[in-house]
Amino acid sequence: MKRIGILTSGGDCQALNAAMRGVVKSLVFSGEQIEIYGFLNGYQGLIYGNYRMLDVSDFSGILTRGGTILGSSRTPFKTIREPDEKGTDKVEAMKHSYYKLNLDCLLILGGNGTHKTANLLREEGLNVVTLPKTIDNDLWGTDMTFGFQSAVDIATNVIDNIHTTADSHSRVFIVEVMGHKVGYLTLNAGIASGADIILIPEIPYDMKKIIKAIEERKKRGSKFTIIAVAEGAISKENAKLSKKEYKKMLEKSPYSTVSYAIAAEIQKVTGQEVRVTIPGHMQRGGSPCPYDRIFASRLGAEAGKLILKGEYGFMVGYRNREIVKVPLDQVAGKLKKLDPDASIIKEAKMLGISFGD
């Protein structure tokens, strides 16, 4: 008999349900008896003992359903050691919930912040197995996270649709893609949709180079230009600022996002009409794409195997086309960024895509 607590934490994404279903199915088909406790709304459920006992049937019919049947929330790791407003010690409260239910382990699905807390719980002596979710694909220790490919599909679709209207109106269009710290999503959706310029946090841009790329397109007879901009894209000048200085600068900026600042500059210098489209949380919504359904199911099955064997303290990830187990202390606190010298970026440049650098 295995008593398993499950929670999904951080920003949601597609295939969370598919992954949980994968774990539960693999345990059921192993013949092991299981009891499942679903903590609601991420670590909040574990802290405040808010859970639901789940039946195997709760995991039926959810392979294609987006979101998470358990709900999610952000519980910042930065303040996890600080008591809440009522003085509750959050870490002790989580341990209390775990021991009170006599759990064998916790299955935690999440991204970067989630993994820091998961590793802390491991250090505190709890048995933890995790699964890598995020549309950002920025989790260390895995080449891929589930949610990413579904978000690439959505962002690609948005940019595809923008092409026709940009063409009709001879406009410059900026599509702002999610990703404050990394540019995987913007880069992949940008290449897939034939964007002309791609701006990502890992490659600070030079406004003059962006203008030059637009002007050169015009000279070649192209009426419009599509720019895929990551939320966290940053200019070369701003990249030199300290975190604090940059934050101050953003607070003073008249523009709500980086895309509007870039749009205003392009319009001023080129005189060409510019529009900004922000698909936002749409990129995290809806049904997982087939790739994510398969990927999350495979990760889930392998997580089930670890739980059966009592191998705890690992994230189930994907490296060099193999499903692998990665020690949690190697994952926590590290961000997987795009290497500006990666071959995918070189190839994109060979295709004529400008990175504004």
Cβ proximity to ligand F6P: between 179 and 313 the closer is: 179
Using an 8 Å Cβ cutoff, are 6 and 51 in contact? no
Q: Which two tokens stand for residue 249?
A: 């600068």
Candidates 81, 169, 180, 349; binder of ligand F6P (CB under 6 A) is 180
Q: Which is nearer to ligand F6P, 134 or 297 (CB)?
A: 134
**Cβ distance 142 to 317 under 8 Å?**
yes
N- to C-terminal Cα separation, the chain? 57
Q: For ligand F6P, which is the closer residue by CB, 179 or 204?
A: 179
Among 47, 94, 144, 178, binds ligand F6P (CB under 6 A): 178
Q: Rounded to the nearest whole angstrom, what is the least distance from the CB of residue 278 to ligand F6P in the complex?
A: 11
C-alpha to C-alpha distance for 22 and 93, rounded to whole angstroms: 29
d(CA 129, CA 193): 36
Q: Which is nearer to ligand F6P, 10 or 204 (CB)?
A: 10
* List 179, 183, 279, 300, residue binding ligand F6P (CB under 6 A): 179
Q: List the x/- string, 41-70, binding to ligand F6P by CB under 6 A.
A: ------------------------------
Asked whether position 19 contacts ligand F6P by CB under 6 A, the answer is no
| 136 tagged catalytic | yes
Segment near ligand F6P (CB under 6 A); pick from 32-40, 134-142, 162-170, 237-245: 134-142
Select from 178, 293, 166 the least CA-distant residue to 223. Answer: 166
Which residue out of 136, 138, 153, 292 is catalytically annotated?
136
Single residue of 5, 111, 132, 183 touching ligand F6P by CB under 6 A: 111
Strands 225-230 and 197-199: parallel
Residues 202-241 binding ligand F6P (CB under 6 A) are 231
Q: Distance between CA atoms of 37 and 54, rounded to whole angstroms?
A: 6
Q: Between β-strands 172-177 and 225-230, what pairing exists: parallel, antiparallel or unpaired?
A: parallel
**Is residue 200 part of the contact set for ligand F6P (CB under 6 A)?**
no
Q: Are 230 and 261 in contact (CB under 8 A)?
A: no
- Joined together, the tokens standing for residue 222 give 């192209």
Q: Is 11 in the site for ligand F6P (CB under 6 A)?
A: yes
Closest CA to 282 of 183, 135, 110: 135
Residues that bind ligand F6P (CB under 6 A): 11, 74, 111, 134-136, 178-180, 231, 284
Catalytic positions are 136
